[in-house]
Amino acid sequence: MSARQISGEIGLFDTIILFGNNFGMFGTPERVSKVLASWAQQTHPKARILAESTTPYCGGAPAIDRHYYQNNKANGLMPGQIRLRTQYRNRVGPWSDWLFVSRQEMRQLVRGTGWHVRTICGDLPSESFVAVLEK
C-alpha cells in the first residue's frame, strides 16, 4: 500500500524508512506535518524514521536551479517544491507534488509533529542526506 494509506489497523512500527528522497513524497509542508503527526501516534514510543532528502540548493536536486527556487519563493511555495509526473512510452501518470528540503528545512518541518531530528548523515551540502528522526 502507499505510505499515505497506512492506518492504525496495520499495527505499530519501530522504524519507518524513507530512502530514495522519499521524505519528499509528502509534497507540501502541510502534508509533512499531518503525516508525521499521525505516524507519531502509530509507532512505538522509541520508534525512529530514517528520512532521505536532497537539498534544492547547491545543484543537489535534479532540475531545480536558482531561478526555479526563487520563483517558488515569490509564489509562496517552499524552494524545493515541485510537481512532476512520470512517462513511459505512451503512458503518462498523474501529476504529483514532491518536496526537496535542506537539512535546516527538514528540522523546521518536523517541529511540532512529535518528532525531532536526532542526527543527520551526509557530508556535502549538494548530496543527499539521511536524517534520523526520533520522538
pLDDT tens figures, 90-100: 999 999 999 99
pLDDT tens figures, 96-123: 999 999 999 999 999 999 999 999 999 8
Percent of the chain with pLDDT over 70: 92
Residue 72 corresponds to which cell in the numbers above? 517558488
56 compared with 1, residue with greater pLDDT: 56
* Domains of the chain from N-terminus onward: 15-134 (3.40.50.150)
Q: How confident is the model at residue 31 (pLDDT cuts 50, 70, 90)?
A: very high
Beta carbons within 8 Å of 46's beta carbon, 6+ residues apart: 14, 134, 135
The closest alpha carbon to 28, from 85, 104, 109, belongs to 109
Q: Count Cβ atoms below 10 Å from residue 60 Cβ, excluding itself.
A: 19
pTM of the model: 0.87
Bridge partners of residue 106, in order along the sequence: none
Q: Distance between alpha carbon 53 and the CA centroid of its chain, in Å?
A: 6
pLDDT at 130 over 80: yes
pLDDT at 47 over 80: yes
Q: How confident is the model at residue 9 (pLDDT cuts 50, 70, 90)?
A: low
Rounded mean pLDDT, 65-88:
94
User: What CA–CA distance (Å, rounded) separates 80 from 118?
Assistant: 23
Q: Count Cβ atoms below 10 Å from residue 34 Cβ, excluding itself.
A: 14
Radius of gyration from C-alpha coordinates of the chain: 15
User: What CA–CA distance (Å, rounded) separates 67 from 76?
Assistant: 14
